[in-house]
Structures are given as structure tokens and as C-alpha cells.
Structure 1
Amino acid sequence: MSTEQRQALDAMLRRSPFPLDGDVEELRRLLHAATSTQVLPPEAKTVPTTLGGVPAVEVTVDGVEPRHVVVYFHGGVYLLGDALSSAGLAAQIGGRTAAKAYSVEYRLAPEHPYPAAVDDALAVYEALLADGVTPSDIVFAGESAGGGLAVATLVNARDHGLPLPAAAFVMSPYVDLTLAGASVDTKDAADPLFSRELLEPLVADYTAGQDPALGLISPVFADLSGLPPLLIQVGGHEVLLDDAVRLAGRAANADVEVTLDVTPGVPHVFQVYGPILDEATAALDRAGRFLTARLGA
């Protein structure tokens, strides 16, 4: 680990915090400005497509013969973000797993509250199965809210009687919209990005009157039995640390194969900072080995 790298990243993130009083459009503008500076790896190629009526970005990597499929869900508290902004992470995972990735452009709240995102995610998976893709050749991945959506989609697919993918990899998953995790408060000073004050007003935009403890909204409260192997990565300096820890505990209690991978001293979705943080590349390498070992098994 590099203490200097972690300190420099923390300082950089604190220079441009999300405004606590920003409306959704302002937050979207700020996030787009931040992610637009993240250049795709030169070997990654993106093409817009549609799966099950849902827009997506197909991501391939030069020199990688795709034998598998990654279904990728972007983050953004279900209100922000887009499929293209997460294409870089999708490419990193696809390149490590000999896979083509589909970054899903699921509908966002408040224009499209729950269950729009959940419905879109399931429709994409159903379309891949209908196209003849073998479930054992598919993995789910996602960051933040996209990590929560990946787990919710596993639960939803199981409950619809669908065969499940080989595994799922989630980064800093946002899986408790009741914000009951102790780290929402205890990690407030350490987290340069998020806080209860930022997250709390946004929950209602997605839940739209529904109980935030519903399993498909907050999968930390769902029945996780029968799910495929899970890899959960999280940073030690984030308010969502306990979301990841409790999700791993719930999965273990449901007899699901689960690996909880905590990297100390790093922020929310630290994997995106590969060019300036050694821990990011190392974590993605571990994820690649985890998924590869289960794809096609």
C-alpha cells in the first residue's frame, strides 16, 4: 500500500465535495463532470445497444476473445450516473475475465422510481438468457447503487425461477436505504464523498413511498439463500462499510459462498482510481481471479 497515494486521493476528493443542498440536476451535472475526465483505456471499445428493450453500452477489449459476459450496473444512488461513465470499470472486469461487458442504462429516479431500475435489470438478464447465453458464462458486477442492484437482481431472478449467473462482484454496495449501518455515522469524518446528510434526502426520490427496507430496495434485508458466489469489496474509509459487512454476514448465514474484501484507508469505489492508486489495480486483479475461477464452472 502507498500511504502517500491514499492521502493524495483523499485530499483530491475533499476539494470537490457534493453540495448537501444540491438538487438532482445539479448532482447529475457534478457527477458527469467528474466522470467525464476518466478516460477509457485505449484498448476498450464501446457500442450502444439494447437488451430486452433496455439501453446498454457493449464494452469489449482489444486482444480479448470474449467467452463470457459481464452484466454491469453503474452507481449513483439510483438517481445519478450512466452506463458510459462506468464503461471503464466494466472494461477492467471484462478484460480480466475474457468477457464482453454490458453496462446497463437502467432508468433513474425521481423520474422513474422503484421498481423501474429493478425491472430493467431483470429484463436485461432475461434477454441474455433468451439469446442463448449460458448462465454459467454470465457474471454480474456493479458499484455502489449498482452493486445493490446486482444483488437485488440475483434475488429477483431467483424468485422468478430463472437460472442464476456464475457469480457476482460488487464494489462498495449500497444495500441499505434505511441507512441503519453504524458506519454511516462512525465513518463520516473519514469518508471524503458521502454522509448521512447527503444520502438521506435522496432515499425518498427512489423509494417513492415504498418501504426502504423491502428486499429489492435494500437487499441486505432480503432472503439471500440460493444465490451464487459473491465477492464484496469495500474501502475502510466509507460510510457504506457496514452495508458491505452486513451483506456478507447475511449471505454467509444463508449458506452462500461469500468473500468480503476490505481495503483499509481507501474511499468509496476506490477501484476506479487505478491510475493513481495501487490498491485499485490489486483489488481488480483479485476480482478477476475470483470471477474467472467460477465462470463456466
Structure 2
Amino acid sequence: MSREQRAKIDAMLRTPRPEGPRPVEEIRSGFAAMMATMIVPDGIRTTTVTLGSRRTLLVEPRDARPRTGTILYFHGGGFVYGSPETALSLTGNLVARTGFRAFSPDYRLAPEHPFPAAIDDALAAYRALLDAGEDPSSLVFAGDSAGGGLTVTTCLAARAAGLPLPAAIVAFSPGLDGTRSGESMDTKAGLDPFFTRESLAHTGAMHLAGQDPHQELVSPALHADLTGFPPMLFQVGTNEVLLDDSTRMAARAREAGVDVILDVTAEVPHVFQAFAGVLDEADQALDRAALFLTQHLGAAGTPAASAS
């Protein structure tokens, strides 16, 4: 393990911030500035398209035809901040490592558009890919943080709508419990350099706008029926207050008879995979995620139908 690398990242994430709740625009600009420092791989190209009425970033291998297979990637940001661009180090690395293309929709954010706007937009993006001729057996959901939660809740919404489910789910440090009732919320409170209970309550209140968190589309780790779900990979770090979102979701999947891998890395922060090129554990985790994707999306071939 890379102790010096992890210590440097931990110190960077602990840079003093203003006391008390911050205005949403300040949260958004600060997050965008931090994520702009992440390393994006060279071997990709990006194009802006429309998917389900939302602006979407299409990420493809730069110098080769994409392999048959599509990643529908949901960015993180507590449903309040973030964009396809802030997640490009993650989306780009998955594309570069697998040769698959990825679509990353710019779903609506709270407080302007509270729950369930993000799920509605994610489901619309998935439906648009299916309508364009995408084979669900050649498509995987992936995402980080809140977007990691969307990988699960969009599957739930798709099943409720009578749509076929994707081939697999990959979630980096997913948020899966809007009640914030996991033990790690307290046991990891001093170790997590990114989140506090108070900061999560601040953005969570914007997202829910007074709605009950005790429902499966907000807290699937507590309430979701995962029967019939595709294989799932959860990657999370031990220094996260959201650690138990992944551990409880994985246990729930196992109890439902779903193939699930719980991949826990020691002493790394929330969405540590974004530090690829800086943190050895990030590159190793992305390699494992890419292997999981290639195992479930099959061999090389021609690209599937494109969106416009």
C-alpha cells in the first residue's frame, strides 16, 4: 500500500473550509475546482450528445472503434453538485481500460430539482439507449457516490417500468442510505476527510425537500428488493462514513441471491478511484472494475446504436 500517497491525499482533502453550511453555488464551484485537478487519461475523446432530453457526455476510445458494450455512467455529487465533466477521470479511465464507450448524463440537481428528478433523468437516459437499439445484455450501469446510488435505484425504477435490466452494476463509494443510519456514520467520523454527518444532512435536505428517506428509491440498502438484479460490484474505502452503505447493500444482494462483489480498500477516502495516476490503490481498483465490466459485457465487436 502507498502510505505516502494516501497521507498526501488525506491532507489535501482536509484543507480548512468555512464553518457551517455553505451556499449551493459555493459547494458546486468548490467541487468542480477540486475535480478539475484529477488526471484524465489521454486515450479518450468526448462528444456532447442528447440522451433522454438531457445533455450527455459521450466518452469513447480515441484511436480505436469502441468494443461492443456501453457504460451508462452516473456522476456523483450528493444530487446537488457535480456534472459529467467532474467525473471524467472516472468515466475516462473505465473507457480507456475497457475499450467500451460511456454515456454520462447531466441529470437535474437539487435544490432546484429534488428527488426523484435524478432517478427520472437516469431512467430516461436508459430508456433512450434501449429505444436506440442498445441490447441490455451489452450495457452496464456505473457511478460514484450519489451516482453509485443511482446505479441501484435506476435498476429499481427500470424494473418497476417493465424494462429489462442491464448486464451489471459497478458502484464506487455509493450513497445507498438516505437515513444515514449506518454504524460507519459514527465509527468513521474522524477518519473521513471528505464528509461529516452535518455536511451530508445539508445536501440531503436539499435533495429530499422534506420527503421521507425511508423508501427504497432513497435508501435501497435498507428497503430494496433486489430479486433478479444483475451482478454487482461495490468498491469502497475504510475511511468513509458511507462505508456501511456498501456493506449493507452487498449483504442485501447476497440474501436476494444476487452475484455481488464487495471490494474494500484500506485507509482510502470517498471515491478514491478518482485519484488514478496519483494513488496506486486507485489504479488497482479501476483495473478490477474494468475486469468486472469486460467479464460481463463480452468480447470485442462493432459499436452499438448511437444516440443523437
TM-score of the pair, normalised by structure 2 = 0.93
- Per the TM alignment, residue 18 of structure 1 is displaced from its structure 2 partner at its CA by 7.2
- Per the TM alignment, residue 175 of structure 1 is displaced from its structure 2 partner at its CA by 0.7
What amino acid is the match of 1:115?
Answer: P
Give 1:91's aligned residue.
92
- Per the TM alignment, residue 45 of structure 1 is displaced from its structure 2 partner at its CA by 1.2
Among all aligned residue pairs of Structure 1 and Structure 2, give the percentage whose two residues are the same amino acid.
51
Partner of 1:169, secondary structure, is strand
Q: Is the 8 A contact 1:18 1:27 kept in 2?
A: no
The 5 A counterparts of 1:212-231 are 212-220=213-221, 221-231=223-233
Give 1:179's aligned residue.
180
Bigger drift between 34-43 and 197-206 goes to: 34-43
Partner of 2:268, secondary structure, is coil
Structure 2 CA distance for partners of 1:153 and 1:249, relative to 1, 3 Å: same
TM-score of the pair, normalised by structure 1 = 0.97
Give 1:237's aligned residue.
239
Give 2:260's aligned residue.
258
Q: Aligned partners of 1:18, 1:275: CA distance in 2, in Å?
A: 29
Q: Aligned partners of 2:36, 2:292: CA distance in 1, in Å?
A: 29
- Per the TM alignment, residue 88 of structure 1 is displaced from its structure 2 partner at its CA by 2.2
Q: Is the 8 A contact 1:74 1:81 kept in 2?
A: yes
- Per the TM alignment, residue 17 of structure 1 is displaced from its structure 2 partner at its CA by 4.6
Give 2:287's aligned residue.
285
Q: Aligned partners of 1:54, 1:215: CA distance in 2, in Å?
A: 25
What RMSD, in angstroms, separates the aligned Cα atoms of the two structures? 1.4
Q: Deviations over 1:210-249 (max 9, x none)?
A: 2112111222121111110000000011100011100101
Q: Aligned partners of 2:88, 2:81: CA distance in 1, in Å?
A: 15
What amino acid is the match of 1:100?
Answer: R
Give 1:109's aligned residue.
110
Q: Mind listing any 5+ residue stretches in structure 1 that lack a counterpart?
A: none
Partner of 2:157, secondary structure, is helix
The 5 A counterparts of 1:83-162 are 83-162=84-163
Q: Is the 8 A contact 2:151 2:169 kept in 1?
A: yes
Partner of 2:235, secondary structure, is strand
Which protein, 1 or 2, shows the higher relative CO under an 8 Å CA cutoff with sep ≥ 6?
2
Whether 2:64 is the aligned partner of 1:79: answer no
Whether 2:84 is the aligned partner of 1:58: answer no
- Per the TM alignment, residue 267 of structure 1 is displaced from its structure 2 partner at its CA by 0.3
Give 1:11's aligned residue.
11
What amino acid is the match of 2:273?
Answer: Q
Structure 2 CA distance for partners of 1:234 and 1:284, relative to 1, 3 Å: same
What amino acid is the match of 2:2?
Answer: S
Bigger drift between 271-280 and 210-219 goes to: 210-219
Q: Deviations over 1:270-297 (max 9, x none)?
A: 0010121100000000111111111149
What amino acid is the match of 2:250?
Answer: A
Partner of 1:85, secondary structure, is coil
The number of equivalent residue pairs is 297
Q: Is the 8 A contact 1:68 1:97 kept in 2?
A: no
Bigger drift between 10-19 and 162-171 goes to: 10-19
Give 2:302's aligned residue.
none
What amino acid is the match of 1:288?
Answer: A
